[in-house]
Structure 1
Amino acid sequence: MATESIEIIPMRAGHLDKINVIEQQVFTSEAWPIKTYLYELKENQFAHYFSLLKDGLVIGYIGLWIVIDDAQITTFCIDRAYQGEGYGDKLLSHCIHYASMRCIRISLEVRESNHSAIRLYRKHGFVDGGVRKAYYGDGENALVMWRYLS
């Protein structure tokens, strides 16, 4: 019986075509263009991005900025075909561990209506920190969540 191969590796420019497909599928109007990711990977000294590969195929990704001792998750997504199978949990755990080696706290914004993501973040120790009114292009609020790292 074959077992799947799961890897979390630094995001590469070669991953961006698949990431763009996932972005368009999941985020639609809020999808980042490939040029934004290229800037993040090549120019932004604060950026740290990771791809989750299953059997060599990109099925998810996460990005964070680290500034001094604060980390902020900037993007996080799992391909719809693989959601609900624990891949998001693995990727978020990796990100938290990575940030904990460098930072005191980590934060993110999430749509108030994204209950499955909010449950995942709370499972990983994030707490509500406030609301950003009309944060998204469609006017939906963002819940700001924080976690102190040990």
Structure 2
Amino acid sequence: MDDITIRNMVTSDLDAVMQVEHASFQSPWKKENFIFDLTENFYSYYLVAVKAGEIIGYCGIWIVYDAAQITNIAVHPEERGNHYGDRLFEAALALVKLKEAETLTLEVRESNIVAQELYKKFGLEVVGKRERYYQDFEDALVMWVKL
């Protein structure tokens, strides 16, 4: 497995992050959403995964008091299958624990079995469903873990 570094995201990372975002999601976030989270939302934290100087993945987290939520996480499709998602998720978990969050939650597409299996490896369980959650009306599974 090639070595990656995981570090805090900065605004100068956004062009590369947007490439990952657009390659990964049917309904990508707008750049303005990331800018707001990085510059104005004091509840948000973002990490990037860097391989050979290039951003190959990222993870967004909101931490409000003792509750953390993964807002988005992605690894570029060309880099999937190398356990980079595992390492990014591990780093996110370490961050939320450092910030003393007691729970972690996220939504995942019902069809995204690969992501669900990743989250289950880290102890998350399906606790609910948000019907027609995504713009294409696919349901989201709500996953949760007590830290």
Figure out how many residues of one structure are paired with residues of the other and give that number: 146
In 2, Cα distance between the equivalents of 1:7 and 1:130? Answer: 33
For 2:51, the equivalent position in structure 1 comes to 54
- The 5 A counterparts of 1:7-86 are 7-28=5-26, 30-86=27-83
- Paired with 1:55 and 1:126, the residues of 2 have a C-alpha distance of 31
Deviates more, 1:95-104 or 1:41-50: 95-104
Alignment of 1:91-130 (within 5 A): 91-101=88-98, 102-130=100-128
C-alpha separation in 2, matches of 1:130 and 1:6: 33
SS of the residue 2:41 aligns to: coil
The amino acid across from 1:46 in the alignment is Y
Runs of 4+ in 1 over 6 A off after TM superposition: none
* TM-score, structure 2 normalization: 0.96
Shift of 1:24: 1.1
Deviations 1:103-148 (A, max 9, x none): 1010000000000000000011000110001000111000000011
Segments of 5+ residues of structure 2 without an aligned counterpart are none
SS in 2 for 1:91: helix
After TM superposition, the score normalised by the length of structure 1 is: 0.94
C-alpha distance in 2, partners of 1:38/1:96?
Answer: 23
Tell me which amino acid in the other structure corresponds to 1:19. Answer: V
- Specify every segment of 5 or more residues in structure 1 that has no aligned partner in the other structure, as ranges: none
Measure the CA separation in 1 of the matches of 2:132 and 2:4: 37
For 2:85 and 2:123, the matched residues in 1 are separated by 15
Identity over aligned pairs, percent: 38
Give the residue type in structure 2 aligned to 1:34.
K
Output the aligned Cα RMSD: 1.1
